[in-house]
Amino acid sequence: MSKFRSELIIEENPTKINKEAKIMSLGSGFSSMMAQNLRQYGLDVTSNPFGRIYNPISLFHHIELLGKHAALNESLLTEYEGNWNHFQYNFLRRQSSEVELIENIKAQVQVMQENFKKQEFLMINLGTAYVFRHLESKQVVANCHKAPQELFEKELLTPDKILESFRHIYPQLNHIKNIIFVLSPVMHTKDTITLNCVSKSVLRVAIHQIVNEFPEVKYFPAYELQMNDLRDYRFYERDLLQPNDQAIEYITSKFNEAYFDSKLLDASQEMDTIIQSINSLPYNPQSRDYVFEVNQAISKLKQLDNYLDPKMAVAELEGRLKRE
């Protein structure tokens, strides 16, 4: 029988994620999508505590910071329209004073350093190989925070530079036995599609080099699943740059199949089936039949709590029964 698409077969990971696993997901916006997939099953996931970071140098800097105590570089503080931030961080909430920002960063770092010690799985999601270097400090920044363009120089990283940077921070990862790299399938077209291809190629070669040098480091092919397996604009949002819900659901299901243990995988698939059956019903909390079906679904979800944590899904269904 003829095949009509290039389906990827993903090798199962020897170490599996179970209900008790502690997972940290760092990187670009796609890392948040991966984290949300895990959270829906009640898994313990820490996602981007310092904001979304797109380039590997800044991301590795944060990992190094989590693994050891280091003084905050206050020369990289920046202010724009009364809001303070730091070039190495990408907080969504801006601080109104320099003191408030410094205290916020230090408190967050302290909490996350303790959290980092407990992690079993680390997902590193890379978005772009283009970086902005702060000319005065010579530091690659995580976010320019609308500072004047003349303060920065843009450059394209090389695979060797990324590999070297990972080698530098690797000693901070000795306690984490499961490191998973992901190349974001989201296209960064601000510099044209052509240069996006260059950037993604650099990242993919760098990840290939890292995985070859460090056998315990794995690669999950989210990029290839989007570009080579799905390979159609119907799997993108209307901006034609970001994977849509259908694509994310497919990609994350492949991750689950490769990384979840058998009990968690079976329970997660059963949860998906239960929720999909409710989603197929017309929403009508005034209907006895609808209320009955939702309550039945809630009961079934609660029976899965030996293998995952259904609290989030249960709360969402309970919310559907609340009448205005």
CATH of the domain at 159: 3.40.50
Does a structural domain hold residue 15? Answer: no
| Residue 12, domain member (yes or no) | no
pLDDT score recorded for residue 188: 87
Residues 40 and 188 in one domain: yes
3-state secondary structure of 297: helix
Q: Over its length of 324 residues, how does the chain's per-residue pLDDT go in tens digits?
A: 566 677 788 888 889 999 999 999 999 999 999 999 999 999 999 999 888 999 999 999 999 988 887 778 888 988 888 888 899 988 655 678 888 888 888 888 899 999 999 999 999 999 999 999 999 999 999 999 889 999 999 999 999 999 999 999 999 898 898 999 999 999 988 889 999 999 999 999 999 999 999 988 999 999 999 999 998 899 999 998 899 999 999 999 999 999 999 999 999 999 999 999 999 999 998 899 999 999 999 999 999 999 999 999 999 999 998 764
Q: Are residues 217 and 243 in the same domain?
A: yes
Q: Is residue 233 part of a domain?
A: yes
| Statement to judge: residues 234 and 289 lie in one domain | no
CB atoms within 10 A of CB 53: 27
Are 205 and 270 part of one and the same domain?
no
Per DSSP, the residues of 45-106 read: EEE-TT----SHHHHHHHHHHHHS-----GGGEEEETTEEEETT---SSPBSSHHHHHHHHH
pLDDT of residue 93: 58
Total Cβ atoms within 10 A of residue 98: 14
Decide which of 245, 260, 275 is a domain's last residue.
Answer: 260
- 256 and 241, same domain (yes or no): yes
pLDDT of residue 96: 80
CA nearest to 75, candidates 88, 62, 65, 64? 88
Tell me, yes or no, whether 124 and 206 share the same domain: yes
Does 304 lie in the same domain as 171? no
For residue 50, what are the domain limits? 22-260
Domain count of the chain?
2
178 sits in which H/E element: strand 178-183
At 7 the pLDDT is 77
Q: State the Cα–Cα distance between residues 61 and 169, nearest whole angstrom.
A: 8
Do the domain assignments include residue 137? yes
pLDDT of residue 323: 60
pLDDT of residue 9: 81
Q: Tell me, yes or no, whether 66 and 39 share the same domain.
A: yes
Are 114 and 58 in the same domain?
A: yes
- Choosing from 260, 278, 297, the residue where a domain stops is 260
- For residues 211 and 162, membership in a common domain is answered with yes
- Does residue 187 fall inside a structural domain? yes
- Residue 148 and residue 168: Cα distance in Å, rounded? 31
* pLDDT at position 92: 53
Closest CA to 207 of 188, 199, 225: 199
Q: Is residue 4 part of a domain?
A: no
144 and 163 both lie in a single domain: yes
Residue 253 placed within a domain: yes
